[in-house]
Structures are given as structure tokens and as C-alpha cells.
Structure 1
């Protein structure tokens, strides 16, 4: 039997901090590329790179990536080399929350839950099997001209971060890429601890499942709780809904915060209400860094938390009011949203 975990959104088009841009511009600078050329036509300013509160769009980072690929042509396996520059410290409070997690499994779950606080363009889906944990790397929506660079950058960054978390080198148990091999196979073998295979049907990597239960050397429950709360607040600030996302979210909200909805309006219904085609609405939401599913999850989470703390409704009743056929999928969804179960949330936040 296997279980799947995936990020809260399956799009790379979300606002992000500037740390990733800083990593790439620093790398380019070491190879003789001036900062001005790296930031040309990106909309990113030098001042933003030094501002820990600054945000840039995914399209802006993508423009930096294109400048890097165009300007640095003498580095074999450029994505691999840039990916090695991403350390757990690159991710700020998000990274520190992962470091202080109890186990690698908890750190991975947290990373997926707060995926939008990172810099990945690939979408990782983690499948836990009895004898191997497989991460499926979805990259079909990444533009073709930078797809290989970003696949290699993101996978190597994930590998480097897992090694940082465990305080020791992590060897992959398998690695497959859905594009042709290069002359850098030996370099990647030395890095991953396994010879990658190319021209495969999917891009994946595997690790030993025993790694998931290994305690992290810097695990600290009180610190972890504080960091997770800060991650939640940071994501809330970045996700403040305006424009089309706010309009869709408003239409997903029922009349009362404690009544819920038995059947949420569909994407098609919301589009009709906004006088848009479904395709156009979906495109606008992607441009805003979100999706119908993500907005529906936001509304469901807010309603669930309100009903758990302000009403005596059972978990089954709340699930039905949120549009679930039964409690089990609601419990799984709530744990994906918050990292805890509805019952545990109620115990911790019940109003007197």
C-alpha cells in the first residue's frame, strides 16, 4: 500500500521572496556576468535583492533564469551547479521550520504544506511505498526553453536540503529523467549516489523509507511550533487576496461562517457569475498565483476552523457542511492544510 502527499497548489506561478534570485545572480557574478545584465527586463531591482520582505512574481524569477541560461554558457550541467547553491538557510524561516521538525517525514510534509514559501518551479508529489519513497517531479507546465535547467536545479536543491536536514549526505535509491542524457551523467551519479537513467516516461527520484523516521539533529518542538506559526502568517500575508482571486473567494464563501455549504459552487458556475469563460477564469487565477482548488481549500479551512472552535458540530457534520461525502477525506484535507487533525485542533482552540 502507498500514500501520496502533494503541495497545496500545483502551479509554480505564485509570489516568492528574492533569495532564489540572489543565489542565481551571485552565481552569475562569479562567472563574470554583471548584476545589471542578470536583472535586465526582469522588473527586479537591486534594492529588492537586499530586502528580506521583498517579493517578486514567478515570471520575474523566470526572466532571471532565462538571463542566467543565456549569459552563462560555459558551465556544464548549469542547473546542477546552481542547484547545489541552495541550502536550508536560503529558505529563511521556512527552512528553519523544516530544520527543527521532529523527523524528515514531518519536514517533507511541512515543505509541501508551505510549498509557496519556496522557490521551486517543479511540482513534487511524494509517494510513500513500503520499500521506497518516490518523488514524482511534474514539470510539464514549465516553459520548454528553461525546463531542463529548472528540473535539474530543483531536484539538486531538494537533494541538498534533505542532506542539510539530516546532517549527512543523502543517497538516492533511484533517479530517472524524461529527457536525453548529457555528458554529465558521471557528475550526477557522484552527487546522487546512484546512476540516473534518462529517456524515461517520468522524472522521479527515490529514497530509502527508513530516512523518513530518522530524528533530525536540530529537532526542537517549541522552536518548531513558533516557526510554523510564522510560516502560516507569512503565507497569509503573501496570499492576501485581491483582484480576480478575491472575487472568486467571495463567491465561494457561504452566507454564514458557521453554516458551511453542502455543495460548493463549481468553477464553471463561478465563471458564469463573473461573465467569464471557464478557461479565461482559470488562466486569470494562474496569473494570480492560485487556482479554484486552492481558493476552495482556503474557504473550507477557514470555515472548518470556525465550526470546530465555535460550534458543537461533530467532525462528520462539519465534513458534510463543507461538501465532503464523509469525514475521512475531510480529515485528510484538514491535516494537509494545518498539519493536525480536526479533533486535535478543536482540543487546542476550543472556545470556553
Structure 2
């Protein structure tokens, strides 16, 4: 029997900060390529790289990546070289939240839920099974001209983050890639501590699951709670929906807001209200990088957080108002969204900080 945890997003086309672009621009400069050539066509200025609050769409970073591969693609294992430059501090508040997590397993679970605060183009899915933890790295939607670079970069960056969290290099059980082996795989050995297998069906790496229970050296419950709150706020701002997704969200919000008391409409009902077929609606939502279930979760989560903090309703009453038949189902969903139970979430927000 195995347990699977998917990322909170399904696609790489999400807004992101400029730290990753700044890192790649710096790498290129070290190898004789000026910022102007690397930033060409991205819409990002060299001056803008110093703005910690700047936000760009994924296409901007993709343009920089294509420029980097064009200029330096003759370097063997370019993706590995760039990927090892990403450190936990590169990821800002997202990285600090991971560092202050209680255990490595909880840090990984958090990172998957809030993956859109990273810079990845490859989407990991975690699977726990007897004797092994496996992270499969999905690259199916990554453009083919930069796919190998991005698999190398993103997997190496992920592995580097895990090492930073533990304070030492993690021992991998295995690593596999779906592309051919390079002429010299020595850098793979150096970074991963083992020789990966190449031309395998999937990109993945495996760990001993016992390592997931290890307390992190910089774990801090108070810092973790603050970082989680800031990450939730940042994600909420970035997830502002427009177009068809906004229309679906509007139909999913109960009339009367959090006080509404009716099961949410199914996707067929939503499609009828929008005068499209269910199949067409699914296609439009998929093109927008989301889906009916994801939007329903977003609405339910927002309403749940509102009711837990602004009303005296019991957890069971909140579950009923959100359309759940049983409180246990709601509790499971809420823990998947936030990493904690509704009761713990309410206590954490309503309990005054200790002086």
C-alpha cells in the first residue's frame, strides 16, 4: 500500500518572483554572457532584478532560460551547474517556512502544497511506500527545447534544498532520468552521491522514508506559523482568478457567502449556467491551469478559514455549510489544504501570543 501527495498546482505557468532570473543572469555573467543577452525578450530589466517584490509570469523566466541554453548550451550538464546554485535562501519566505518546519517530511508536504512559491517548471509528486519514499518529477508539459535543462536544474535544486534543510548531504536510494546519459556523468555522481540510471521511463529520486521523520536543526514552531501565514497570503494574492475561472468561482460561492447552507453545484450544473458543455468547460479550465475540483477547494478553503475565525460555528457546522456530508471528510480536506486541523487552525489564530 502506498500514499500519494500531489503538488498544489498541475502546471508550471504560474507567477513567480525574479530571484531565479537573477541567479541565472549572474551565472551567465560569470561565463562571459552579459545581462542584456540573457534578459532579451523577457520584459525584465537588469535593474528590476534587485526588486524583491517584483513578480513576473513564467513565460518571462522561460525566455531567460532559452537565452541561457542558446548562449551556454554547449557546456556539458548545464542544468546541473545552474541547479546547484539554488539554495534554500533563494526561495525567500517559502524557503524560511521549509527551514523552520518540524521535520523533513512536513517540510516536503508544505513545499508541495505551496509549490507555486518556487521557481520550478517540473512538477513533483511524492509517493510513500513500504521501504521507500519516491519523488517522481513530471516534465510532460515542459517545452521540449529546454526540457532536459529544466529537469536537471529543477531536480538538482530540489535535492539541494533537502540538503540545506538537513544541514548535510542526503543519501539517495536511487535516481533515474528519462534522457540518455551524458558523455561524462561525473558531475551527477558528485552532486547526488550515486550514479543515476538513464533512459528510464520516468524522472525520479528515492529516499529512505526514515529520514522524513528527522527533526530539522532549525525547526521553530513560532517562526513556522508566521511563515505559513505569510505564504498563504502571498498565494492568495497570486491566485486571483480572471476569465472563465473567475466565473466558475463566482458560481461556487454560496449565496450569502459563508452563511450559505447548500451543497455546491456540480460541474454539470456550472456548465449549464455558463451555457457551455461540461467537456468544453473542462477544456477551458485546463487551459487556464486549473480545474473544477481545484476551484471548489479554493472556495471551500476561503470560506472555511472565514467561518473558523469570524464565527462561533463548530467544526461540524462549518463542514455542513460547505456541503460535506461528514465532519471527518472536511477535517481531512482542511488538513490537506493547510497542513493542520480546523480546531488547531482556530486556536492558533484566536490564542493571543505569549508575552
With the length of structure 2 as denominator, give the TM-score of the two structures. 0.90
Superposition pairs of residues 171-186 of structure 1, within 5 angstroms: 171-186=171-186
Superposed CA deviations along residues 57-79 of structure 1, whole A, max 9, x for unmatched, are 01111111111111113311111
1:213 matched residue in structure 2: 213
Answer yes or no: is the 8 Å Cα contact 1:13–1:287 preserved in 2: no
Superposed CA deviations along residues 318-348 of structure 1, whole A, max 9, x for unmatched, are 4454344544443232112111112323444
Answer yes or no: is the 8 Å Cα contact 2:21–2:61 preserved in 1: yes
2:136 matched residue in structure 1: 136
1:312 aligns with 2:313: yes
> Measured at CA, do residues 24 and 288 of structure 1 come closer, stay the same or move farther in structure 2, by a change above 3 Å?
farther
> Measured at CA, do residues 260 and 176 of structure 1 come closer, stay the same or move farther in structure 2, by a change above 3 Å?
farther
SS in structure 2 at match of 1:124: strand
**What's the C-alpha RMSD, in Å, of the aligned pairs?**
2.3
Answer yes or no: is the 8 Å Cα contact 2:259–2:321 preserved in 1: no
Superposition pairs of residues 117-136 of structure 1, within 5 angstroms: 117-136=117-136
1:282 positional shift = 5.3
1:6 matched residue in structure 2: 6
1:68 aligns with 2:68: yes
Q: Which moved more, 1:339-348 or 1:12-21?
A: 339-348
1:100 matched residue in structure 2: 100
1:168 aligns with 2:168: yes
1:275 positional shift = 4.7
2:227 matched residue in structure 1: 227
Q: Which moved more, 1:156-165 or 1:214-223?
A: 214-223
1:287 positional shift = 6.0
Answer yes or no: is the 8 Å Cα contact 1:245–1:285 preserved in 2: yes
2:37 matched residue in structure 1: 37
Q: Which moved more, 1:282-291 or 1:25-34?
A: 282-291
Give the Cα separation in 2 of the matches to 1:236 and 1:189: 40
2:247 matched residue in structure 1: 247
1:262 aligns with 2:283: no
The gaps in structure 2 that reach 5 residues or longer are none
Give the Cα separation in 2 of the matches to 1:184 and 1:56: 36
1:198 positional shift = 1.6
> Measured at CA, do residues 249 and 225 of structure 1 come closer, stay the same or move farther in structure 2, by a change above 3 Å?
same
1:20 matched residue in structure 2: 20
> Measured at CA, do residues 24 and 287 of structure 1 come closer, stay the same or move farther in structure 2, by a change above 3 Å?
farther
Give the Cα separation in 2 of the matches to 1:138 and 1:211: 23
2:297 matched residue in structure 1: 297
Superposed CA deviations along residues 92-136 of structure 1, whole A, max 9, x for unmatched, are 111111111111111111111211110111111111223111001
Instruction: Report the count of equivalent residues.
Output: 349
> Measured at CA, do residues 80 and 134 of structure 1 come closer, stay the same or move farther in structure 2, by a change above 3 Å?
same
1:80 matched residue in structure 2: 80
**Aligned structure 1 segments of 4 or more residues deviating by more than 6 angstroms:** none
> Measured at CA, do residues 261 and 8 of structure 1 come closer, stay the same or move farther in structure 2, by a change above 3 Å?
farther
With the length of structure 1 as denominator, give the TM-score of the two structures. 0.90
1:85 positional shift = 0.6
